[in-house]
């Protein structure tokens, strides 16, 4: 069931000081106003519902916005293309970021509806749930994706996040049609038991669609969505079991990423920037 969300209050406190990076006409920052969040929800609707075939509620279809109650509590990362002006259409990329305090206010993390994430919740450091990631079809460039990741790295660095997780999607709801990437993920990137989420019993779909010896790893990697490949490049793992999400017309896997590589790359970039400033 999709709950109506008519009032949006999920504005990051001190957002401008947490993430604000420019690269030519592109900028990545956190949402600072309700108009920012509305623009992110409009982008999500265009990508998830109009492009990818997700099924909206009547209210979503009428408003042409993707929303749920989590939007009121989380941070929204935005990529803005200033060459498009300053209206809602300038928001070309977004990520929804949920830290532990926001999840505690809501009563759970978003992923907990699909996965048992008790092992992740027990992690002693700061944790961050990533979700609702999308980029406008005309902006799916290397520059946009790199800026999104730089924004996430800055956010992780600022809040000293030790672990990131969330549901990542493969297109379609027939697990046998994506048997190769699902099987590859299970056999080659399964999370260690201490951090391993598991799909809820009533939603569990076995990822082991093929025998290990039948897996063509390069081909499997080629069939993975870019976002999933990005997580794997950061040393990410997957949980046990996929989940069919018929509303979004996807098959979800739960991703877990320790942020060592993310913060290391960001720290190196930050150090270089500081040295360049001092040299000047």
Q: Please report, for the chain, the start and end positions of each structural domain, with discontinuous segments joined by +.
A: 15-279
Residue ranges in the chain whose pLDDT is less than 50: 1-8, 274, 277-280
Q: How distant is the alpha carbon of residue 52 from its chain centre?
A: 16
Evaluate whether 158 touches 18 at the Cβ level (below 8 Å).
yes
Alpha helices in the chain (DSSP H): 15-18, 34-44, 58-63, 100-106, 118-121, 142-159, 179-189, 217-223, 226-233, 260-279
User: Residue 144: what are its φ and ψ, rounded to 5°?
Assistant: -65, -45
Query: Cα 185 vs. chain centroid, distance in angstroms?
Result: 18
pLDDT of residue 57: 95
Q: What is the pLDDT at residue 60?
A: 97
Strand-pair partners of 94: 78, 134
pLDDT of residue 2: 36
Beta pairing partners, 171: 250
What are the DSSP calls for 42-56, one per residue? HHHIIIIIIIT----
CA distance 93 to 132: 10
Q: Which of 52, 53, 11 is closest to 34 using CA atoms? A: 11
pLDDT at 4: 37
Q: Please tell me the predicted confidence (pLDDT) of residue 5.
A: 39
In this prediction, residue 262 carries a pLDDT of 76
114 phi, psi to nearest 5 deg? -115, -30
**CATH, range 15-279:** 3.40.630.30
Contacts of 187 (CB under 8 A, 6+ apart): 208, 212, 215
Using a 10 angstrom Cβ sphere, with 0-12 exposed, 13-18 middle and 19 or more buried, the burial of residue 222 is exposed
């Amino acid at each position: 069931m999709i709950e109506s969300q008519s009032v949006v209050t999920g504005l990051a406190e001190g957002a401008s000081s947490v993430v604000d990076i420019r690269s030519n006409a592109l900028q990545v920052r956190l949402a600072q106003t309700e108009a920012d969040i509305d623009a992110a929800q409009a982008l999500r609707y265009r990508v998830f519902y109009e492009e990818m075939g997700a099924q909206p509620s009547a209210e979503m279809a009428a408003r042409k916005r993707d929303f749920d109650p989590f939007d009121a509590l989380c941070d929204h990362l935005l990529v803005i293309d200033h060459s498009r002006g300053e209206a809602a259409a300038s928001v070309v990329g977004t990520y929804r970021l949920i830290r532990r305090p926001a999840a505690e206010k809501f009563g759970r993390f978003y992923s907990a509806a699909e996965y048992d994430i008790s092992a992740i919740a027990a992690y002693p450091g700061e944790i961050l749930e990533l979700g609702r990631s999308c980029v406008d079809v005309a902006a799916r460039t290397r520059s946009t994706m790199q800026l999104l990741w730089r924004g996430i790295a800055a956010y992780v660095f600022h809040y000293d996040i030790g672990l990131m997780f969330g549901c990542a999607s493969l297109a379609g709801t027939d697990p046998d049609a994506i048997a190769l990437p699902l099987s590859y993920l299970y056999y080659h990137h399964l999370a260690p038991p201490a951090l391993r989420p598991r799909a809820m019993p009533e939603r569990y779909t076995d990822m082991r669609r093929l025998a290990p010896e039948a897996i063509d790893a390069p081909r499997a990697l080629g069939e993975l969505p870019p976002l999933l490949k990005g997580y794997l490049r950061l040393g990410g793992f997957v949980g046990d079991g996929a989940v069919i999400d018929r509303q979004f017309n996807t098959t979800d896997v739960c991703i877990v990423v320790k942020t060592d590589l993310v913060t290391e790359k960001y720290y190196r970039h930050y150090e270089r920037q500081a040295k360049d400033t001092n040299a000047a």
